[in-house]
Chain A
């Protein structure tokens, strides 16, 4: 089927209607949609092994079960994004199992290992809150119908992750002493990395095709501000000692750790032991997904050909 012309798509978007099929997309819209979905799917996917390393340090069996349930949710959310990409003509198999690890796109934060239960729950409170803001924006304003509808359940499940982060942060904070100090350290190093999650400041961006196509509704700065207000006001997180931090927002990076062209570099307090994160996580996790080593393929269920 011939792709829509830009005038027809523009009119559809102006009327506030949803795009439901590729026949209504221009090639440029399709490319932007795929890119946005890929970043979302990759971010959810890479969070699973990152969270798992920390979930193993859970202080109780039930806490471990909570961590595992969150990881299962993240994999399911990744699957939604990859599944839509498959509907748009990409191979889910190739995207997950055959891509070079350096080609995965996700926030820099997941290149820094989470090493304790405390760090996991702060990640739930900060990273998942960031994801909640970003996906919530797409859910509320997004122009692509299938993704918008798929996010209804995602948002509900992310609430569970946020509650785990907030409840445990409060519990640890109230315990005081070394536990609270560890919590503060986690907040201190994870805060700037979550600020970075939202990309370039608006004044450094010249143009946003994502906004033009209503693939998102809010600018980077608006989303970042929303995260700051929803994530930290009255939610039991300890007060962050921000005095020494200098924060420059940066865009998404590839797992190689090299900054994307023309983007600012994040800087933060040299007191942080994470001041120079390597790409350790990405190099450890992503090859585990690769099937390029010739592992045998098992039959998979397919919606297209009917379940075996």
Chain B
């Protein structure tokens, strides 16, 4: 999908403590087939940042994701892609 994770509303929180970054995130569905791929991308991208040595990912399901979490940019991108949101 041509939309980033933040605009999709998947990122619930992010903290940085020295070289460690913790990300809490969710997925649009518990059966998301791309969840490992997404977590791998996050880990790889954050480790490419100077000074980041450790990435912790916390998958949360409460509150559950709904389309209300989309940003206006995310909503527009999905509409342009052909999804009704």
Contact = CB atoms under 8 A, between A and B. Distances in A.
16 contacts: A62-B36, A66-B34, A66-B36, A66-B37, A69-B33, A69-B34, A152-B82, A153-B82, A156-B1, A156-B81, A156-B82, A160-B33, A160-B34, A164-B37, A167-B41, A171-B40
B63 interface: no
Given A156-B81, A156-B82, A164-B37, 11 more contacts: A62-B36, A65-B32, A65-B33, A66-B34, A68-B33, A69-B34, A156-B1, A163-B37, A167-B37, A167-B41, A171-B40
B33 A167 contact: no
B22 to A, nearest CB: 21
B51 interface: no
A164 B36 CA distance: 10
Contacts of A70: 33
B40 A62 contact: no
A76 interface: no
Contact of B33 (A62, A152, A156, A171): A62
A66 B82 CA distance: 22
Contacts of B82: 152-153, 156
Contacts of A167: 37, 40-41
Given A152-B82, A153-B82, A156-B81, A60 B33 contact: no
A63 interface: yes
A152 B80 CA distance: 12
B27 to A, nearest CB: 10
A17 B31 CA distance: 42
A241 B82 CA distance: 42
Contacts of B37: 66, 163-164, 167
Interface string A99-140: 000000000000000000000000000000000000000000
A68 B33 CA distance: 8
